[in-house]
């Protein structure tokens, strides 16, 4: 929760909040791709996805898989 609050505050106070949010979204995608390629549990991936959805003010129900990946 503290990480989420801190990053939201950073985005809101940044001189170019939209650009910063776009950069954070790209970093999230990069990190997520690496996590998905590694042997981490699906619950860890779901936690990562939900955390970033909250940080970037996205609706987790629209952006995040709420069920485990098949396989």
Residue 50 resides in a domain: yes
- Kindly report, residue by residue over 2-53, the tens digit of the pLDDT: 877 787 788 788 888 888 878 887 888 899 899 889 998 989 888 888 888 7
Closest to 28 in 3D by CA, of 57, 2, 51: 51
Domain that holds residue 39: 2-11+18-63
Residue 54 resides in a domain: yes
Residue 70 resides in a domain: no
pTM of structure: 0.59
Q: What is the dihedral of CA 55, 28, 45, 12, to 10 degrees?
A: 0
Domain count, the chain: 1
Residues with Cβ < 8 Å from 45, sequence gap 6 or more?
32, 35, 36, 69
Residue 37 resides in a domain: yes
């Amino acid at each position: 929760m503290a990480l989420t609050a801190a990053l939201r505050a950073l985005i809101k106070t940044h001189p170019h909040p939209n650009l910063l949010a776009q950069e954070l979204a790209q970093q999230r995608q990069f990190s997520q791709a690496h996590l998905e390629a590694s042997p981490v549990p699906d619950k860890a991936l779901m936690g990562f996805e939900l955390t970033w959805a909250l940080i970037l003010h996205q609706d987790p129900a629209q952006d995040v898989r709420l069920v485990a990946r098949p396989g």
